Structure 1
Amino acid sequence: MSADEAGTSPAAVTMETEVFEVMIRGSIEAVWREITKTDELQGAIFNARMHTDGLKPGGQIRMRTASGAYTSVVGHVLEFDPPRRFVHTMAFTTQDDPESTVEYDLEQQGDQVRFRLTVTMPAGTKSAKQMRQGGTMIVNTLKRIVETGRPSLGIRLLYRLFTLLEGISPKRCRSENWPL
């Protein structure tokens, strides 16, 4: 039965918002680079590489494994205001859940940057559960990378595990299924 047949519509999805915030010793430019770079892996965002047809409103985003063979997240840019605000949609390729919205807000405060990650996601979904768990990891890993130059040992080991398990990713996540 479709959502319309059930008397609901995609617009009727209940959304919830989580906010993750951290103070990072460093420059706003360093933090901005870590969350928007496309020329290397994003160590704070699950060691994925951002592929895009343009970091501008309407631009598409694909977060791919280091090898590029699998795509874990798809979305599009809603706002891009360097180096202060970046907003995009996202959906996990492993889920059929409605899109979430991810907001990155940065504010230089002396020798630190207030970094806020706000995620608005469909309530009660697997995607929401993953985002709640992942949000804390993202802000803490971003802080560690900007302040020390690399993620913690535990995160590096986790990323190594991701690489080893890449081959068992679902076929639906193959990057050829998610072109730009």
Structure 2
Amino acid sequence: MAEQTPDAVFRILIKADIQRVWHELTKTDAAQGAVFNAWLHTRGGLVPGAAMQMRTGTGKHVLVVGEVVEFNPPHRFVHTHRFTQHDDPVCQVAYELKQVGASVEVTLRVIGMPPGTATAKSMQGGGTMILNNLKSIAETGRPSLGIRLMYLMFDWLEFVLPAKTQSRHWPL
């Protein structure tokens, strides 16, 4: 059996309605500002077994591929996760939302990361950023200025993404 790192668990309290937070994490009609401004695409909707991708705004590159494992609005969304630029094994990402008074507790859990991989390193560093961005968007309507500038740079530098991430290599 392959060795795995312990689950990476990130948690934050957001002063917003649970439906607003849920929509931000599952929308397919706009960029997901909390998740690196990527666009969530699926075939057949967000239902268990459906293929999904996170793409750049132009749609020319696929950043993440996966499959919906669980979809229980507005409390739990689980999907498999594989970065297209790495040849690492698949892991799972679980978002769990719980109403706590006037706030929503959001837990982001990354399950089954193989140790020492680029995916594990990216997920360990990205979890806090995703939740902080989600909090900012849900509470103020947009990510911080620094994040917006970073996303602008992502757009400008899309051409440097590896050729293996091009959408033609990842049909949905």
Same fold (TM over 0.5): yes
Task: Map 1:46-61 onto structure 2 (within 5 A).
Answer: 46-53=36-43, 54-61=45-52
Task: Map 1:23-172 onto structure 2 (within 5 A).
Answer: 23-53=13-43, 54-120=45-111, 121-172=113-164
CA–CA distance in structure 1, aligned partners of residues 8 and 79 of structure 2: 15
Q: State the TM-score, normalizing by the size of structure 2.
A: 0.96
2:4 paired with 1:21: no
CA–CA distance in structure 2, aligned partners of residues 158 and 13 of structure 1: 34
CA–CA distance in structure 2, aligned partners of residues 160 and 122 of structure 1: 31
Please list every run of at least 4 consecutive aligned residues from structure 1 whose deviation after the TM superposition is greater than 6 angstroms. Answer: none
Paired position in structure 2 for 1:177: 169
Q: Percent identity?
A: 53
RMSD, aligned α-carbons? 0.9
**Equivalent residues of 1:16, 1:122 under 8 A apart:** no
CA–CA distance in structure 2, aligned partners of residues 14 and 49 of structure 1: 29
Deviations 1:15-64 (A, max 9, x none): 43111000000111000000000000000000000000120110111000
CA–CA distance in structure 2, aligned partners of residues 65 and 20 of structure 1: 24
What amino acid sits opposite 1:14 in the alignment?
A: Q
Q: State the TM-score, normalizing by the size of structure 1.
A: 0.92
| Alignment length (residue pairs) | 170
Deviations 1:91-122 (A, max 9, x none): 00010000111000001111100000001211
